[in-house]
């Protein structure tokens, strides 16, 4: 027994010696990160030199001691994930993790950040291989990290962990706390959020200043395991990150007390240095001081990841069987969409549906009944729901669908916009669109959604839609009322081509509709034909974007003169959701 205890003590002592030796090496990475970020921000006469300095120790510990990843394969599915929620630290990120320190970028390119010749914008985008999602809209990052962590724990069932760096000022955003609630509800113990509490706002001081105890109480109230640490203490940071890895069933928050401009004489913890260029003589003094603190240039290689993420395939997914509807059957497109999602779930086990507490109304409950392990309830928090979806879809790990009322997606437009910038392939389904739900009142009517999604780059819009997959974001608009099936099984509809559903030899007018308005147009065509003997042509605009202008124009070629008048009339309506056709 005595020898066993002695062996245990020897092991503990050896581990402690190794730990402090490693922490000592990491400590001397921090000045080099601070040096490079200082040089870069000063070379641009812009950006955030003092903000970068506040998180240098945190980043050095994360990327050179805690995180497991392959340096030369930054998108490897087994790598730990990192989300930079507050973009003020982007120069620090480029200085550390995957670029200069690891040899992915020359220092000359780093010093040329924000120049037109390089794709190194002031906010990180997917142009850089280590960036999973574009950030820049504060409050978004933690929700995205939640999606990554959810996928890792429940879908991949893998060992990789997710880290998200959040600004203390950023915590004023309500979306941060929506994400905090989501993470604790789903027991995301593979997620670590680091709050950089540096006391200062863009201009002035934070309401909580350096009250890390208040941050701690708030995080704990949301069900998080929480540590408070001196963000300048490398050894303490190493210890709390190690402790976080041992926590089960709870996400971990690390509240780090930091100082803007740390290590910069006469600048540290001072106001009014946000995005403010420093005088050259002060820059030279600071650089010399930081250079004197670099005592080793030893290269620290990160630990390799645990390679246990499953190999997956989310390409060429097809429905297991076609719809069984007949012409004239009455069915709401929202229900048809719910049935189609459930079928799609059987075709591929990486299809995931996220919902905002109205699954019975959108019929996504059908998917939940058949695939409960891939149904993610996000509650009434639409902006966080979209952020989580963006995280689930990163690195091509899932085919992600978001379901809610179309009107409620307007609250998540910031996240949708950032998803497009991130080149995300998420699919959004908005039900109860238009005035057809008039009895519920105007707050429930989605009247702006088409205009909103048409403004989103590379977003395909279906109204209504079958389940074709396409690169880029997709929005599917469904309706509440039951409408008649108008297509037979023999008609193969191309997703980019509009369909002429009613035409005759002596058509006097062309009417273009979609969804409920298409059925109203068909009813009007029947009435005009019977009562006035007037024949009109009706086109189904089910793909609102991209617009199939060729089909619309080709139907008018026999009437060139009338086409000119028809087009002129539409050109005057430029503010509508379809824009100038």
Answer whether 402's CB lies under 8 Å from 426's CB.
yes
Name the catalytic one among 57, 101, 178, 382: 382
Angle at 215 between CA 211 and CA 219, to 5 degrees: 165
Q: Which residues pair with 355 in a beta bridge?
A: 377, 403
Answer whether 446's CB lies under 8 Å from 407's CB.
yes
Tokens 């409620």 label which residue? 408
Helix count and strand count (H, E) for the chain: 20, 17
- Answer yes or no: 382 catalytic: yes
Rounded Cα distance between 406 and 480, Å, is 11
Rounded Cα distance between 151 and 351, Å, is 11
- Buried residues in 6-42 as b, exposed as e (16+ CB within 10 A): eeeeeeeeeeeeeeeebbebbbbbbbbbbbbbbbbbb
The three-state (H, E, C) secondary structure of 213-265, written as one string? HHHHHHHHHCCCEEEEEECCCHHHHHHHHHHHCCCCCCCEEEEEECCCCCCCC
CB atoms within 10 A of CB 276: 13
Rounded Cα distance between 84 and 434, Å, is 38
Burial class (CB in 10 A: 0-12, 13-18, 19+), 544: buried
**DSSP SS3 for 426:** coil
Tokens of 556: 């008018």
Q: Which residues pair with 427 in a beta bridge?
A: 401, 474
Tokens 């979306």 label which residue? 175
Q: Where is 550: in which H helix or E strand? A: helix 549-554
Rounded Cα distance between 398 and 389, Å, is 9
Rounded Cα distance between 356 and 376, Å, is 9
Catalytic amino acids? 382
């Amino acid at each position: 027994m005595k020898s066993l205890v002695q062996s245990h003590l020897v092991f503990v002592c050896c581990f402690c010696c190794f730990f402090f030796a490693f922490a000592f090496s990491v400590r001397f990475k921090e000045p080099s990160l601070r040096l490079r970020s200082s040089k870069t921000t000063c070379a641009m006469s812009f950006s955030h030199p003092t903000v970068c300095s506040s998180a240098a120790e945190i980043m050095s510990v994360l990327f050179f001691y805690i995180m497991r990843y392959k340096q030369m394969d930054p998108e490897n599915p087994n790598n730990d994930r990192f989300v930079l929620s507050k973009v003020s630290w982007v120069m620090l990120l480029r200085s550390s993790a995957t670029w200069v320190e690891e040899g992915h970028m020359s220092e000359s390119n780093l010093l040329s950040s924000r120049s037109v010749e390089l794709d190194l914008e002031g906010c990180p985008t997917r142009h850089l291989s280590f960036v999973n999602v574009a950030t820049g809209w504060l409050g978004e990052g933690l929700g995205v990290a939640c999606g990554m962590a959810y996928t890792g724990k429940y879908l991949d069932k893998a060992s990789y962990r997710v880290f998200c760096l959040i600004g203390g000022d950023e915590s004023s955003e309500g979306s941060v706390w929506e994400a905090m609630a989501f993470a604790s509800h789903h027991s995301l113990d593979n997620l670590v959020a680091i709050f950089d509490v540096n006391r200062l706002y863009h201009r002035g001081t934070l309401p909580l200043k350096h009250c890390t105890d208040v941050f701690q109480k708030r995080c704990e109230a949301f069900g998080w395991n929480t540590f408070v640490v001196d963000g300048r203490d490398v050894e303490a940071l190493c210890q709390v990150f190690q402790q976080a890895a041992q926590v089960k069933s709870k996400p971990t928050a690390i509240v780090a007390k930091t100082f803007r401009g740390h290590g910069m004489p006469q600048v540290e913890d001072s106001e009014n240095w946000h995005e403010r260029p420093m005088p050259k003589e002060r820059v030279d003094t600071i650089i010399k001081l930081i250079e004197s603190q670099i005592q080793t240039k030893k290269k620290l290689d990160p630990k390799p990841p645990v390679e246990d993420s499953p190999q997956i395939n989310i390409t060429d997914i097809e429905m297991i069987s076609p719809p069984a509807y007949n012409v004239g059957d009455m069915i709401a497109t929202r229900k048809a969409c719910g049935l189609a999602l459930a079928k799609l779930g059987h075709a591929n086990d990486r299809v995931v549906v996220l919902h905002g507490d109205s699954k019975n109304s959108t019929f996504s409950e059908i998917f939940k009944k058949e695939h409960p392990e891939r149904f993610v309830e996000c509650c009434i928090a639409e902006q966080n729901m979209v952020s989580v979806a963006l995280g689930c879809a990163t690195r091509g790990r899932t085919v992600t669908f978001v379901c809610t009322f179309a009107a409620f997606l307007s609250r998540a437009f910031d996240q949708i916009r950032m998803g497009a910038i991130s080149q995300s392939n998420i699919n959004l389904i908005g039900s109860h669109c238009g005035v057809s739900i008039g009895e519920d009142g105007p707050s429930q009517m989605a009247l702006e959604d088409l205009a909103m999604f048409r403004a989103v780059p590379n977003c395909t819009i279906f109204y209504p839609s079958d389940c074709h997959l396409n690169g880029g974001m997709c929005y599917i608009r469904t309706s509440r009322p039951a409408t008649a099936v108008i297509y037979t099984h023999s008609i193969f509809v191309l997703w980019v081509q509009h369909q002429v559903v009613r035409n005759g030899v002596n058509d006097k007018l062309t009417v273009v509709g979609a969804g409920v308005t298409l059925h109203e147009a068909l009813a009007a065509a029947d009435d005009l034909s019977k009562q006035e003997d007037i024949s009109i042509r009706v086109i189904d605009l089910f793909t609102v974007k991209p617009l199939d202008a060729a089909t619309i124009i080709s139907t008018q070629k026999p009437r060139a003169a009338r086409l000119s008048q028809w087009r002129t009339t539409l050109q005057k309506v430029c503010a509508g959701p379809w824009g100038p056709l």
